Every structure is written in C-alpha cells, then in structure tokens.
Amino acid sequence: MTDTHQPAVVVTGVRKSFGETVVLDCVDLTVTEGTIFALLGPNGAGKTTMVRILSTLIPADSGNAQVAGHDVVGDPDGVRASIGVTGQFSAVDELLTGKENLQLMADLNHLGRAAGRARVDDLLARFDLVDAAARPVSTYSGGMRRRLDLAMTLIGSPRVIFLDEPTTGLDPRSRRQMWDGIRNLAASGVTILLTTQYLDEADELADRIAVLDHGRIVAEGTPDELKRRVPGGHVRLQLADPPTLRAAAALFDGATPDEERLVLRVPGNGDVASLRHLLEQLDDARIAVEDLSISRPDLDDVFFAVTGPPTLEKEAA
C-alpha cells in the first residue's frame, strides 16, 4: 500500500443520471497516490456528482469506483476511513467555536484525549485560527470558515482528500492561502482530487487535469500536455471597420474574425520573426491596425479547444 505508483482513486465507466438528465456519462479516472488531480469543468459538468459518488454519499448507476483500495459500494466504511471531504458548502457547526468543531472531529475519529487535543492545537496553528479558536463559527469570515472546514477534514489524517470547489467565493488573498494549504498537503504525501471551474487554479495546483464537460471527460493530461494540444498562441488585431477586418482576414490562413468586436485572431506563437512578417503583410495590403496584442496559449484556449466555443449552439441543437 505504500507503493507510490499505486492509484489512490480508480474510476471505470461510471454513469449517473438524475431522472432524465445524464450527469455522468461513462467516466474513467485514475489518480496516482500522492498527486494533485484536478477535475476541471463549468457549472453543471458533473464535478460535484463525481465527488459525491467517490465519497460514498450517493451510488453510481453503473460502473466501478475504488478509493484507497476500497470499493465505494462494497466497502463504504473502508473508503470513509481513508478519505476527507470538503464540500462546496461549508460543513461546520455554526453554533460551536472553531476549537469545538475540531474537537468534535477528533472525538469522532477516536483519537483519544491527549492525541486529539494535540492534533486540534496543531491544526489551529497550521490554519492560522488560533486567535479565533474560542469564537463561535457564526462570526467567522468566508476564508476562515473554509480553512476551518479543511482543518476538520484533516483531523483523521486521511490518505485521500476530495476538495469540491475549495476556493469558490473566496477573495484573492484567501484563495492564495487556500492554495498554499493544498500544496503543503500534497507535499506531505496525501492524494488530492479537487474540482474547480477556474483554469488558473487547476494550472497552479494540479499534477494532472481532466476536463469534464456535460458528464464526459473530454481531455486529460498534465497542464503542459493540455497546453500543447493548442498549437501556439495567437496574435490579436484590432481593426477599424468591417471591410478592413474582412480584408485582413483574407491575408492570413486560419485567422478567425470577430465581426462584432472587429477583432482578428491570427494563429502564431508571437515571436519576433513571425510578427515582423505579419506586420509587413499588413503594410503591403495597406491595412491600418488600431491595436495589437500577443496571446500565449493558456488553459483557456485548451478549454475552449476541447469543449467548443462558449456559445449556445450546442444547447440550441
């Protein structure tokens, strides 16, 4: 079980529907022990449903899922003993103090009096909650609540942690703090599966990313692998009017005009030579450019490349 290449989470062919709505459509996932895996997708893609299935809250309609070597259906208590879950909505007791919340978790994990107390104090310190420890949680800010939530998840020293949108609704500073906490956890050898709708978050934290869209995994790989799927970046040209836009579009292969914003996206990695060539072509055609910017490929491009443009045509069909 200490083999670092042992998968911590294995999902094969998981399907789940709520009534007529198919939420997960034959999902396969493998998360290597000790890594951070991000499940990236827009709202309604099925991320939370996946986490609920893996954390034994709801059963899948079909398919298999194993967490830390235990089957989620056959041995739910085995799974529960190995996992920690921090959901989208904070799972803290508002009427208790931060310390009492942690103590409750220590008791439910049967840590014993002394060990429990030591663990509670350690986590209060690690999550910067010492000053607020004696205050009821109802007085906490959003960021403090999330930190307490995560600390409560860690009391039992879980080997696999599920974080469902851990930074949604947090201000940038709290978000950074949360990221640091997650990175520290991973450094201690814990496996983390997190869901997020933020590309930068997945890019920042994850060893591997799976893009979930309409219940299907549409792309999977390391952040770099995914970025490589979008060849190069593009140069963005702002033009004065529609005729100029059309004239410019005719000059370049694979350029995509946006009539509404009068913007032309020309594929290219934006290095000096290709940029000079591009400007020469524009000069030769006597096309004036209002503004020019260079975009390197980021996960946004990957996301749109694999899920299709963020328009409504799919829904309309």
Partner 1 sequence: MSTLAYTVSDSTTMLRRNLRRLQRYPSLTLLLIGMPIVFLLLFVYVFGGQLSHGLDTAYAAGHTGRAGYLNYVTPGILLMTVAAAVQGTAIVVAMDMTGGIIDRFRTMAIARSAVLTGHVLASLIQTLLSIGIVLGVAVALGFRPQAGVLDWLAAVGLLTLFAFALIWLATALGLAAKSVETASNTPMFLAFLPFLGSGFVLLASMPTGLRQFAHYQPFTPTTETLRGLLTGTPIGANAVVAIAWSVAIALGSYLWARHLYTHRRAA
Q: Which residues are at the interface with partner 1 (CB under 8 A)?
A: 55-58, 77, 80-81, 83, 85, 87-96, 100, 104, 107-110, 136, 152-153, 156
Q: Enumerate the β-bridge partners of residue 296.
A: none
Nearer to partner 1, 78 or 267 (CB): 78
Q: Distance (Å, rounded) from C-alpha 208 to C-alpha 218?
A: 14
Q: How far is the CB of 52 from partner 1 (least distance, A)?
A: 8
Nearer to partner 1, 14 or 161 (CB): 161
279-312: b or e for each residue (b if 16 or more CB lie within 10 Å)? eeebeeeebebeeeeeeebebebbbebbbeeeee
Q: How far is the CB of 276 from partner 1 (least distance, A)?
A: 57
Nearer to partner 1, 31 or 152 (CB): 152
- What one-character-per-residue DSSP string does 19-56 give? TTEEEEEEEEEEEETT-EEEEE--TTSSHHHHHHHHTT
Q: Distance (Å, rounded) from C-alpha 247 to C-alpha 241?
A: 10
Which residue in 117, 113, 143, 114 sits closest to 128, CA to CA?
143
Nearer to partner 1, 46 or 233 (CB): 46
Q: How far is the CB of 70 from partner 1 (least distance, A)?
A: 11
Local structure of 165: helix, strand or coil: coil
How many Cβ atoms sit within 10 Å of the Cβ of residue 317? 5
CA 207 to chain centre: 11
Amino acid at residue number 127: F
Which residue in 49, 76, 45 sits closest to 60, CA to CA?
49
Q: How far is the CB of 28 from partner 1 (least distance, A)?
A: 23
**CB-side exposure of 317: number of CA atoms within 13 Å?**
4
Q: How far is the CB of 192 from partner 1 (least distance, A)?
A: 15
Nearer to partner 1, 110 or 286 (CB): 110
Nearer to partner 1, 94 or 225 (CB): 94
Task: Determine contact, residues 266/252, Cβ cutoff 8 Å.
Answer: yes
Q: How far is the CB of 95 from partner 1 (least distance, A)?
A: 4
Q: Distance (Å, rounded) from C-alpha 50 to C-alpha 34?
A: 20
Nearer to partner 1, 76 or 267 (CB): 76
Q: How far is the CB of 296 from partner 1 (least distance, A)?
A: 39
